[in-house]
Amino acid sequence: MSGTKCMYLCLRLLFLQLAVAGAGADDGQFLYNGFAGANLTLYGMAKITPDGLLKLTNGTVQEKGHAFYPAPVSLRRVGAAPNSSEKAVRSFSSSFVFGILTAATQDLGGHGIVLVIAPNANLSAGLPSNYMGLFNSTGSLGNPSNHMFAVELDTIHNLEFKDMNNNHVGININNLSSKEQEEAGYYDDKSGQFHDLTLISGNAMQVWVDYDGDTTEINVTLAPLGTKRPTRPLLSARHDLSTVITNQSYIGFSSSTGTLSTHHYVLAWSFGVDRAAPAIDMSKLPKMPRKTSSGSQSKTMAIALPIVSVVLVFFIASCVLLVRRRYKYGEFREDWEIEFGPQRIPYKDLIQATERFKNKNLLGVGGFGRVYKGVLPKSHLEVAVKRVSHESRQGMKEFIAEVASIGRLRHRNVVQLLGYCRLRDELLLVYDYMPNGSLDKYLHGHGGGDKPVLSWPRRFLIVKGIASGLLYLHEEWEQVVVHRDIKASNVLLDGEMNARLGDFGLAKLYDHGTELQTTIVAGTLGYLAPETARTGKASPLTDVFAFGAFLLEVTTGRRTMEHDTQGNSHMLVDRVFEHWRTNSLVNAVDPRLGGEYNSDEACMTLKLGLLCSHPLPSMRPSMRQVTQYLDGHLPLPELMPSLHHTSFSMLSMSSATTQGQEGLDSYVVVSKASLSSMGSIGELSNLSSGR
């Protein structure tokens, strides 16, 4: 290599280095057109990829990633006291390009990306999920000593923090609930019209954050990548940041995932003090990865993708077929069902799949009807087909609408409903096939008792998985789904023994933030929350109650309700409560574990079970709190003996002892009466005895 060429290369390299690293913050600005070789302080999952993307989270769930500019930025006017009320913070401006990718099989992701200014660059104590990696307890929320200014791109609808929806931009001061929030989108300069944007679309977008030190105005503007900055900001608020921003501040990004696998990326970033943030050079940006090729999950994708495409092709094919053979095979269909088109599976395919519902393919008979194993023709997908009878058409439209909604649920701890088929007096629901069957068979050795004993780590994973699935149903999906029939026999195990919540036969869907409606009492004795019978309302907290009973069942290996030889019934919750009261909780743990378990985890699970089983709904934790307790992110609150004692006795009085049988028996009477008066839905909803 000749000397001149070498020198040229060296100069070029030097130039590139400068171009990449940008100027230091000493002169009040920096610019990263991509992050290759950038010197940022990274924590958690955050990494800079070889092609220059700042990857804040990599698809791992319940994690967080932080990336900070390595040096402090001086945002205060020199000489101003940190606590003075004079306008001590200088104007600043920051802009960045980001993209959020969800797994190919799901159209939801969480929780989002936050641009944050904080007194230090180490937020590693921050919790993932709804805490966005910013805070580690609700106790500190709103506290002025946090000195935190943040702009959130929030993709989960969190009612606790008063989120408006699962696709909004917010200005946050020392808190997770926003001072100001708006639906993601932008105002067109020409027409003035508002255009929606979907944060998790996988498309890159640009954000501008501006603070005016004199007027204390904060503007946040969003636009699709390549669109000129809109004049009208999306959000505008006034807040004097003098008491918020400290003398030494760090600026960076915080991002977190909850139960949904999500990749959060930043492609470029710039910042300026007392001036506009330097313009990002769009021609130098790294490429946003495509949804289908998000590498880290490649193994799952490699399996899931072909299945998804095959299912898709199959659905389209079945649509075509359906139109051609509308009433053949006694299939029943009405005009309103067109909107649910792809969810319908032709009867002919199901006949073929189950070999005309041969007995050898019968998987089980439940309260709802028979379940058959089958292999779909064409796609060769293994499925479970459930036959449910129905008599009248009344309520059918609502029911099918719910089936269609439930078919859109996507979570690794939820059994996938693939579609349905309706005959004149029968409904067929098609689910993913779960080769290892239901959990109760393992816990109680039901039917043969040849299943192996589940180890404690496996049980704990199952419990955490179901908690995560329920959290998704309650808080993370577009609607609130109340399952209404959580129990061990509705927890199914897939080929890898992962737990999945199944049987949404009783599930109710609500829009977030709406009043719950009264429905007929339904569920399984031993899992039914006391208020369900009183008010007839199913809420997420009634699911939490059943989940509590489930926790006790999994840890003790006993049924939630047992009958002795005299025919008296005993509630498991009372038994565990007694062990807790006498300080002998370990004696409640399943003896079949042979003492091989982590006693801290097992006792915590039992206490959490008691807490969830609290007769007063207001005393029960939310599923979000439950997952935080199970993950060890939050310490379990102490149970209060006096309150629990009286309440649990009250509960058992109203339920299971021989003397007080009116309690639960009257539930049965009430619901039988309403069942018969409810027509088809009544038929579909049942109250199985839990035996």
Ligand X SMILES: *[C@@H]1O[C@H](CO)[C@@H](O)[C@H](O)[C@H]1NC(C)=O
What residues pair up with 497 in beta bridges, in sequence order? none
d(CA 429, CA 422): 9
d(CA 555, CA 571): 15
Q: Which of 45, 685, 682 is nearest to 394 (CA)?
A: 682
Active site residue 163: no
Residue 435 contacts residue 427 (beta carbons within 8 Å): no
Q: Which residue number, 208 or 368, has a Cβ lying nearer to ligand X?
A: 208
Q: Which residues bind ligand X (CB under 6 A)?
A: 39, 45, 58-60, 70-71, 74, 78, 81-85, 122, 124-125, 136-137, 141-142, 161-162, 175, 177, 210-212, 217, 219, 231-233, 236, 247, 296
d(CA 150, CA 662): 55
Least separation in angstroms between CB 147 and ligand X: 11
Do you know the residue count of the chain? Answer: 691
Q: Which residue number, 188 or 212, has a Cβ lying nearer to ligand X?
A: 212
d(CA 542, CA 569): 22
Strand-pair category, 217-224 with 205-211: antiparallel
What residues pair up with 68 in beta bridges, in sequence order? 41, 252
Least separation in angstroms between CB 132 and ligand X: 13
DSSP 8-class letter at 4: H
Map 143-171 to HEC letters. CHHHCCEEEEEECCCCHHHCCCCCCEEEE
d(CA 610, CA 577): 7
Q: Which residue number, 410 or 570, has a Cβ lying nearer to ligand X?
A: 410
What are the helix (H) ranges across 613-658? 623-630, 641-653
Q: Which residue number, 137 or 293, has a Cβ lying nearer to ligand X?
A: 137
Establish whether the linkage from the previous residue to 633 is cis, with ω within 30° of 0. no
Least separation in angstroms between CB 633 and ligand X: 9
Least separation in angstroms between CB 457 and ligand X: 19
Least separation in angstroms between CB 146 and ligand X: 9
Least separation in angstroms between CB 160 and ligand X: 6
Q: Which residue number, 248 or 352, has a Cβ lying nearer to ligand X?
A: 248
d(CA 497, CA 305): 21
321 exposure class (CB count in 10 Å sphere: 0-12, 13-18, 19+): middle
- Helix, strand or coil, per DSSP, at residue 294: coil
In our burial notation (b when 16+ CB lie closer than 10 A, e otherwise), range 236-247 reads ebebebbbbbbe
d(CA 2, CA 32): 33
d(CA 457, CA 462): 9
Residue 480: which H helix or E strand, with range? strand 479-482
Least separation in angstroms between CB 620 and ligand X: 19
What are the helix (H) ranges across 290-385? 298-324, 347-353
Q: Which residue number, 261 or 652, has a Cβ lying nearer to ligand X?
A: 261
Least separation in angstroms between CB 514 and ligand X: 19
Least separation in angstroms between CB 521 and ligand X: 33
Q: Which residue number, 180 or 217, has a Cβ lying nearer to ligand X?
A: 217
The counts of H helices and E strands in the chain are: 14, 28
Q: Which residue number, 596 or 600, has a Cβ lying nearer to ligand X?
A: 600
Contacts of 443 (CB under 8 A, 6+ apart): 454, 488, 553, 554, 557
Does 386 show up as a binding residue in the annotation? yes
d(CA 32, CA 69): 11
Q: What residue is closest to ligand X based on CB? A: 142
Q: Which residue number, 126 or 346, has a Cβ lying nearer to ligand X?
A: 126
354 exposure class (CB count in 10 Å sphere: 0-12, 13-18, 19+): buried
Catalytic residue among 432, 485, 503, 543: 485
| Binding site, annotated residues for ATP | 386
Binding residues: 386
Q: Which residues are catalytic?
A: 485
